Amino acid sequence: MVSPLPVGRDRPFEPSLYLERGWQLFRQNWQLYVPFGLVLFAFGFILGMASSLLQIAACLTIVASVDECPEWVPQLVDLPFNLISWLVGTPLGAGPMVAALLQLQHQTPEFSDFFKGFRRFWPLVLTSFLIGFIIFIVVFVIAILFGAVAFLLNQAGTPVEGLVGIAIVGVLLAIAAATYIGVSYLFVTPIVLDRQIGVFNALELSRQVIAPSWWSAFGFLVLLSAINVLGFLACCVGLLVTIPVTLCAIAVAYSDQVGLESASAEV
């Protein structure tokens, strides 16, 4: 029985190697990754169109022109679509990583495997919620603390420039805290997909493994983000390649830093 919180493999974090291996995984099965990317795009497009049409319909039942529609109407209509996007998009978006993990176990994925994230629906959704909730709480606490400091300084007659400086420091601290948390949970999705452990254990395992190499993991995420930005700039079509490649790279990094539970895999 594998321990719920296995120790990391104590290897150097090698972003360039992970990206190169991720590209190789994608290239081996691009004929599956690209069509699945089209499925993801179609899901987002259909959801967005349905939301827009319902917003227009809802507005026209209240006022004569869409331009006169109160702001709360489209926001209210959009709520269920945002919920559907999160609940369906979270396990669906894990599809390329499911395929990559299979390839790392020397298995050949099939198109149906890209939908197996739904088998881990609740763990994926709950970890996604918890990460967002943790970030929200941390940012909220920072906002309260700096808001209180700004209020007290304002009462003491501090110049506006000083209050602006306090606000800037607070914003930068909130961004730094959110970034630290996001990077620390880099491996949560592959852990949930690969290991039969609890949600909180998955979060803690990712944090423990990332902590010694946090700056390297941060640089890795910056690199992956830059690649996806380039994919977006290529008329968005490039995302059909860059998104699966970057997800494959994360799966490779996970297999190297943590190790696959169901099979040994070397990068």
Cα distance between residue 19 and residue 25, in whole Å: 10
Query: CA 99 to CA 132: how far, in whole Å?
Result: 25
Tell me the pLDDT tens digit for each residue of 171-210: 999 999 999 999 999 999 999 999 988 999 999 999 999 9
Chain CA centroid to CA 197, Å: 20
Q: What is the pLDDT of residue 58?
A: 86
What pLDDT, on a 0 to 100 scale, did the predictor assign at position 154?
84
Intervals of the chain under pLDDT 50: 1-4, 264-267
- State the CB neighbour count (10 A cutoff) for residue 261: 15
What is the pTM (predicted TM-score) of this model? 0.89
**Cα separation values, 37 from 28, 34, 92, 123, 238, Å:** 16, 5, 10, 23, 11
At residue 228, the pLDDT reads 95
Instruction: Give the whole-angstrom CA distance, residue 72 versus residue 213.
Output: 45
Run of H or E residues at 51: helix 30-60
Per-residue burial over 231-259, b = 16 or more CB atoms within 10 Å of its CB, e = otherwise: beeeeeebbbbbbbbbbbbbbbbbbbbbb
